[in-house]
Amino acid sequence: MRGARAGAYLLAGAIIGGVAGGLTATYLGPQGPAAGSPAAVATAGALPLATPFANPSPGTDPVVSAVNELLPSVVTVINYVSNGQPQSSGSGFVVDAQRGFVITNNHVVEDVRDTNPGASFDVVFSDNKKMSAKLVGRDQLTDLAVLQVSGAQNLKAAALGNSDDAPVGSSVVAIGSPLGEFQNTVTHGVVSAKGRRVAETPQVFLEDLIQTDAAINEGNSGGPLIWVATHQVIGVNTLVASNAQGLGFSISSNTVRTISDELIKNGKIVRGFIGVQYTPLAPRQAAQLGLPSGTTGIVVTQVVPGSPGQQAGIRVNDIVTKVNDQAIDAEHPLQSVMVKFRPGDKVKLTILRDGKEQTVDVTLGQPQ
């Protein structure tokens, strides 16, 4: 990373050096053309000045107004290992001023070596005030985490808006600390699309993402995506396509609200439990079973005794193809589909048993 940044700065240095060298040559070189010559006439006189104007007040530019209002809510999150050395950093924002709750990404608070949380955390506010924070809870499957600062006064909270209300094309700004160095960086763009689904890891698919062309870089993770028209947060910036430009993704604020409320209440997310172990249905296996081409799902390998799955009559070798109306496939693995369900929810599973399709209703339980 240092090498890459050094290369970028080297380019700027080369340009500045070239300009400086040119200026030096002007002062040290021979006298210019004689007065009255065509060259002298062409270069005589200064360039015309722009018409002076008064700087607009912040309220007249909606982007400036939104930034001025919400910048104090945005923080840099520093993640430390047990010996007190910083191991990574990201961004976040205050969502509850009274209780000191800060929203960020799970991967911002994770240990860089494994999936455990960091040993301790600091948050740095836009005025460079630094405070220690404790981890309230985190959720790997939605990549969200909640921190809390204690004893802070005069915090400024950012309001979570309704991400469903922001139409494609809406003007948005992202605020964060890209590369961990450039605190309070603001980028501007639009909502490019909604409802995106992106693989964060081979096991975790993030759902209901907002796509934006506002620049998001390493270190922006956990910062807010702000709808300019309302000055409300409609997303948490989380990842960017590394092989393309203008492809950033934010977790929708409606997901953020649901997950954060539960993390604050329980410290973790308790998802609905079916009580089966399974393997993905491979295309070759589907062909061997004589299933129609393109059949996808999971094959039940074990049913937990006394579980909701057993009570609903699910059997070993059943092939589950849908949860409610959502097909289970490589783009929608069962683990990701179940993210939205909680104990007590009732779901309808579509299964294939002995080549025949049927449905079963399962009232989800709680993992033991």
What amino acid positions are annotated as catalytic residues?
107, 143, 221
DSSP state of 365: B
User: From the centroid of its chain, how far is CA 163?
Assistant: 14
Gap between the Cα atoms of 178 and 176, Å rounded: 6
- Yes or no: say if 63 and 173 are a contact pair by the CB < 8 Å rule: yes
- Yes or no: say if 367 and 318 are a contact pair by the CB < 8 Å rule: no
Q: Establish how many alpha carbons lie within 13 A of residue 58's alpha carbon, considering only the half-sphere containing its beta carbon.
A: 7
From its phi and psi, is residue 47 left (phi > 0), alpha (psi between -120 and 50) or beta?
beta
Gap between the Cα atoms of 85 and 81, Å rounded: 6
In the chain, DSSP finds a helix count (H) and a strand count (E) of: 8, 18
From its phi and psi, is residue 154 left (phi > 0), alpha (psi between -120 and 50) or beta?
left
List Cα–Cα distances, 134 to 145, 189, 223, 251, 363, in angstroms. Answer: 11, 33, 18, 22, 35
DSSP states of 225-276: EEETTTTEEEEEEEEE-TTSSS-EEEEEHHHHHHHHHHHHHHSS----B--E
Q: Residue 38: what residue type?
A: P
Burial of 107 (0-12, 13-18, 19+ CB in 10 A): buried
